[in-house]
């Protein structure tokens, strides 16, 4: 039985691909192993979104071949889809280069590579989502949490973004297909389902001409089980306000919104091919908090975009203070080939971008810590992710904490990962909660 090790890189959407690839290989009588030492094939599921991620993925391929020269090292994923010829011709460490346009062909391709062929196989992105969606058997998250990809690609064409080049234009899954997958995951013991896509505010527009997120939520609300739904991500220019009402009436939908504002300066937003403004974004935040007072808002800011002046940066700082966002990730602009921003003039030195990033991050630490204090005294459900028996404590995550990017909740006893615990938040420690256990329940 051939063996493989999956070296996973990139975002949650790429993670879903990695889980599907692993599941398809297992269906094809491959054996997944936990160490490259045991593998016949080392599969590097690459990221090709920004420069740092590309370097990380290439480094992983080179390192794998250097450490295990007798193994087959296979590049799969976004970097392969974006730069197939460059990888195949210039990276001899890769025994195969496979794209992510059609994951069903991966097992046969890996079999050929293991037999000694060096191949490049990168089908173009499909024009439609497969239905019914392939049901995964492998999950890379902590027990009890799973991502559901409800869209593929993106048609927003932000001037800095390579996603349409890699993943193609927007394709949405049918509502009944998503509901079926949700039901299957819940039956497997998943408690938190994270609906992901490049912009959930566009979900269904390719199918019906309008956002169908509310329709999907209504269909999911008919599932008579205990679970939690989280949304990642919604473009703030496309936020469907009607979803606030259903969230207010069904506590299984987390009032957690990841809204990538990216900037607040009108000239920079225009150059980014985005149509919002600081005023519109502050109004959106106010509307959400008015209808859902305990809601959490996460965002990302992009600094160092071509032409970003000190005045533009000051506008972003002012917006950060006025918005009082709960969670924030700050990124420096990455120059990406074949995007409109690639040829823009007035590039910002990396040293200035790093300085601006550091300023925003320092400001955000105080904002986040202060925002989290409103949860002191609140009792809620937390999915347990890690246990530390020696210290008699565990790490849990509430609806107000997204996987991997936010803080955690430290609970004062050791509990089995995957179960759901009711606990009261008693204090804030930086970006984390301290909580005391009340009782446990399984999903």
Res. 134 pLDDT band, cuts 50 70 90 = confident
Separation CA 314–CA 214 (nearest Å)? 36
Integer CA distances (angstroms), 306 to 59, 148, 164, in order: 28, 35, 20
Is residue 134, in this structure, part of any structural domain at all?
A: no
Separation CA 121–CA 94 (nearest Å)? 13
Is residue 129, in this structure, part of any structural domain at all?
A: no
Do 203 and 295 lie in a common domain? Answer: yes
Is 136 within 8 Å of 19 (Cβ atoms)?
yes
The answer to whether residue 48 scores a pLDDT higher than 70 is yes
Tokens standing for residue 38: 């045991």
Mark which of 374, 390, 425 sits at the end of a domain. Answer: 374
Mark which of 354, 374, 394 sits at the end of a domain. Answer: 374
DSSP state letter for 123: P
The answer to whether residue 443 scores a pLDDT higher than 60 is no
DSSP E strand stretches across 265-323? 296-303
- The CATH number of whichever domain residue 212 belongs to comes to 3.80.30.20
Tokens standing for residue 125: 């992105």
Domain region containing 19 = 3-121
What are the tens digits of pLDDT across the range 318-371?
A: 999 999 999 999 999 999 999 999 999 999 999 999 999 999 999 999 999 999
Do 303 and 325 lie in a common domain? Answer: yes
Integer CA distances (angstroms), 430 to 59, 257, 285, 372, 373, in order: 33, 21, 24, 9, 10
What is the domain count for the chain?
Answer: 3
Do 73 and 222 lie in a common domain? Answer: no
What are residue 383's phi and psi, to 5 degrees? -85, 130
Mark which of 329, 349, 374 sits at the end of a domain. Answer: 374
Mean pLDDT over residues 145-164, rounded? 95
Is residue 405, in this structure, part of any structural domain at all?
A: yes
Mean pLDDT over residues 231-242, rounded? 96
Separation CA 340–CA 319 (nearest Å)? 26
Do 201 and 253 lie in a common domain? Answer: yes
- Residue of 247, 248, 251, 278 lying closest to 262 (CA atoms): 278
The answer to whether residue 126 scores a pLDDT higher than 80 is no
Separation CA 353–CA 116 (nearest Å)? 46
Tokens standing for residue 401: 């904490």
Separation CA 219–CA 180 (nearest Å)? 10
Do 213 and 194 lie in a common domain? Answer: yes
Res. 301 pLDDT band, cuts 50 70 90 = very high
Res. 7 pLDDT band, cuts 50 70 90 = very high
pLDDT at residue 277, rounded to an integer? 96
pLDDT at residue 390, rounded to an integer? 82
- The CATH number of whichever domain residue 410 belongs to comes to 2.40.50.140
Is residue 412, in this structure, part of any structural domain at all?
A: yes
Do 200 and 315 lie in a common domain? Answer: yes
pLDDT at residue 165, rounded to an integer? 93
Do 189 and 231 lie in a common domain? Answer: yes
394 DSSP β-pair partners: 387, 411
- The CATH number of whichever domain residue 21 belongs to comes to 3.40.50.2300
Mean pLDDT over residues 137-143, rounded? 92
- Residue of 340, 40, 396, 13 lying closest to 199 (CA atoms): 13
Is residue 253, in this structure, part of any structural domain at all?
A: yes
Is residue 350, in this structure, part of any structural domain at all?
A: yes
Is residue 133, in this structure, part of any structural domain at all?
A: no
DSSP E strand stretches across 66-143? 72-77, 96-98, 119-121
What are the tens digits of pLDDT across the range 366-395?
A: 999 999 999 999 999 999 999 998 889 999
Do 328 and 387 lie in a common domain? Answer: no
Separation CA 401–CA 378 (nearest Å)? 14
pLDDT at residue 125, rounded to an integer? 82
Res. 115 pLDDT band, cuts 50 70 90 = very high
Is residue 330, in this structure, part of any structural domain at all?
A: yes
Least confident among 182-186, 198-202, 439-443: 439-443
Do 358 and 402 lie in a common domain? Answer: no
Is 357 within 8 Å of 331 (Cβ atoms)?
yes
The answer to whether residue 132 scores a pLDDT higher than 70 is no
Separation CA 152–CA 200 (nearest Å)? 10
What are the tens digits of pLDDT across the range 187-205?
A: 999 999 999 999 999 999 9
pLDDT at residue 442, rounded to an integer? 63
pTM: 0.93
Do 224 and 315 lie in a common domain? Answer: yes
Do 162 and 274 lie in a common domain? Answer: yes
pLDDT at residue 440, rounded to an integer? 87
Do 417 and 349 lie in a common domain? Answer: no
Separation CA 130–CA 36 (nearest Å)? 31
């Amino acid at each position: 039985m051939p063996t493989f090790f999956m070296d996973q890189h990139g975002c949650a959407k790429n993670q879903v691909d990695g889980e599907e690839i692993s599941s398809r290989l297992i269906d094809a009588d491959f054996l997944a192993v936990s160490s490259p030492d045991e593998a016949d094939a080392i599969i590097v599921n690459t990221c090709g979104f920004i420069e740092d991620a590309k370097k990380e993925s290439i480094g992983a391929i080179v390192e794998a071949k250097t450490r295990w020269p007798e193994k087959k090292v296979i590049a799969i994923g976004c970097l392969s889809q974006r730069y197939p010829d460059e990888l195949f011709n210039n990276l001899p460490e890769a025994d195969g280069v496979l794209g992510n346009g059609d994951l069903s062909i991966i097992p046969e391709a890996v079999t050929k590579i293991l037999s000694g062929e060096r191949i490049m196989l990168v089908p173009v992105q499909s024009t439609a989502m497969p239905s019914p969606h392939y049901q995964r058997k492998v999950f890379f998250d902590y027990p009890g949490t799973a991502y559901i990809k409800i869209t593929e690609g993106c048609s927003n064409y932000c001037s800095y973004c390579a996603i349409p080049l890699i993943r193609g234009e927007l394709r949405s899954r049918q509502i009944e297909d998503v509901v079926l997958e949700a039901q299957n995951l819940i039956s497997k013991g998943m408690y938190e389902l994270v609906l992901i896509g490049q912009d959930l505010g566009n979900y269904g527009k390719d199918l019906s001409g309008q956002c169908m997120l509310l329709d999907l939520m209504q269909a999911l609300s008919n599932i008579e089980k205990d679970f939690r739904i989280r949304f990642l991500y919604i473009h703030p220019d496309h936020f469907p306000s009607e979803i606030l009402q259903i969230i207010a009436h069904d506590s299984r939908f987390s009032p957690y919104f990841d809204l990538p504002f990216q900037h607040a300066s009108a000239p920079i937003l225009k150059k980014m091919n985005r149509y919002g403004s600081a005023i519109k974004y502050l109004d959106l935040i106010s509307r959400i908090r008015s209808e859902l007072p305990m809601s959490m808002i996460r965002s990302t800011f992009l600094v160092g975009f071509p032409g970003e002046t000190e005045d533009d940066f000051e506008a972003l700082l002012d917006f950060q203070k006025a918005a009082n966002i709960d969670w924030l990730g700050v990124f420096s602009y990455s120059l990406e080939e074949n995007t409109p921003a690639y040829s823009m003039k007035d590039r910002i030195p990396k040293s200035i971008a790093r300085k601006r990033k550091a300023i925003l991050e320092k400001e955000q630490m105080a904002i986040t810590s202060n925002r989290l204090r409103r949860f002191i005294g609140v009792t809620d459900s937390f999915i347990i992710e890690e246990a530390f028996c020696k210290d008699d404590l565990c790490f849990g995550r509430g609806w107000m904490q997204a996987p991997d990017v936010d803080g955690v909740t430290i609970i004062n006893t050791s509990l089995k990962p995957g179960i759901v615990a009711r606990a009261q938040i008693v204090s804030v420690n930086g970006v984390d909660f301290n909580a005391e256990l009340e009782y446990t329940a399984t999903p």
